[in-house]
A and B are shown apart, each in its own frame.
Chain A
């Protein structure tokens, strides 16, 4: 069994009196797909926000490759190798698809360079194009992002996260708002990505989760109530009671 790439220990987060996360402990191994499920308000978004540095945990710690990341400023996470996408599409609306991804690729270096022309860094453009191709947006490089179809924008979300070549990808409901066909395409993409990256997924589509995941974490009221393989989770009585009755019927 390989050493955990990413580990959270007793992580909690409160907002005033409200406890959003309560003592979550888990380890994530390389190149596995872990899905995080739970009813609305279970703390999935908060968990993601803590893992990606948007929020600092009130208690507990996060370790990545042995290094303690608790309290690290958010923008450093992607440089360390943890990238995320958002549930509500969060792109650069007036820029083209290519520029959306290119500017993300640029963030690692040369970002304070006020002197040279951007064209002096062709490798950034090439990486952007490669990322766009890999998510299936090959023909849409010059489209203004806000004019893309919803499914294409979700793909762009992922391309932006992907271009930094992260070891860990946090994907927050990548199939949000997608119909069955688009979801199938997204699942195929995720399977391809999972071959050489660690993926953490928040999703609601049960069939998709059961088919795709190596492991499933179940959150409820901020606590981790189950952690195991899809089969373990399906058999777990707590989970059945809390969540599996709410199958939304998709894919």
Chain B
């Protein structure tokens, strides 16, 4: 699959005409990307108009980043990633609310559950080729939505899941008031930092090179000896795990899981955020999440029909700015 995107995770892939300075900057950004991202996110609550918006940026940033592992780096356009986000959220909520599991156990269960769901959906959808894949992931995720809708004794059905508020986080003798917006932000920041570190590790690993080869030229990768289907499946599951983590973050934050979290509209939103920020760039997904959420906040002040503006902007990005905000910025400044 061909994408017109500069691969920013490999310092050696410099263009022939790049100036030494720009290449050094690119290398520096790549080598320090986890710490730089964490630093940027630490400042976020003080820069944005509301703490709630900042938390949402964390949650959806992690979600988009997990998605981007599959979309931007492996080259697979899934339209069903809401399923893993929702699974993480619901499992966490059910574990805490109905089984009294402590928060860390619930989070772990949520992540594992999301990963297992990703294994199932991935195994079915990766058998399909090309554009089929998008439709199948969409349909299978929508199946999960309908199941959740029907299983209302577990999930609360149309009304969503409630009754699992986490008020305190107890770690190593300290008790953090999770209801305080600032404390909540920095607790969730730890989750986000772990996700950032994990993704960066994957991208730097031999597996990271493998998925990029598949994105660049799947047939060639196969001829080189890569089991393309198995590699894609592993990438799918890793992506699902991270999106499930975002789901647990969302559940802890809202103490509520709306059914819509599983609808394909949410999957579409994930795609939009990733593209707006810049697929196949490390920090792009966070930028995209921020951009989308800011637009939603600002435009909904003017009109309840803010979606038409965001949709139009997205169309313009697909046509004219496929690298996204951060991707275009990197390409221009760090060329």
Contact = CB atoms under 8 A, between A and B. Distances in A.
Complex: A in contact with B (CB within 8 Å): yes
Interface of A: 52, 54, 73-79, 83-84, 86, 90-96, 98-99, 102-104, 106-108, 110-118, 121, 142-144, 147, 160, 164
Contacts of A79: 225
B202 interface: yes
Interface in B203-227: 204-210, 212-213, 216-217, 219-227
B35 to A, nearest CB: 16
15 contacts: A75-B223, A76-B225, A78-B223, A92-B212, A92-B216, A94-B5, A95-B213, A96-B12, A107-B225, A110-B206, A112-B231, A113-B205, A115-B205, A117-B205, A160-B224
A90 B219 contact: yes
B171 interface: no
Give the interface size class of chain B.
35 or more
A111 B207 contact: yes
B204 A143 contact: no
Interface in B197-254: 201-202, 204-210, 212-213, 216-217, 219-228, 230-231, 234, 238
Given A74-B222, A84-B223, A95-B7, A147 B210 contact: no
Interface of B: 2-3, 5-7, 10, 12-16, 201-202, 204-210, 212-213, 216-217, 219-228, 230-231, 234, 238
Given A112-B234, A114-B202, A115-B205, A99 B10 contact: yes
Contacts, number: 123
B contacts with A: majority SS = helix
Nearest to B280: A94
Contact of A113 (B6, B206, B219, B222): B206
B22 to A, nearest CB: 14
Given A94-B6, A103-B224, A111-B231, A121 B216 contact: no
B238 A114 contact: yes
A95 B222 contact: no
A78 B13 contact: no
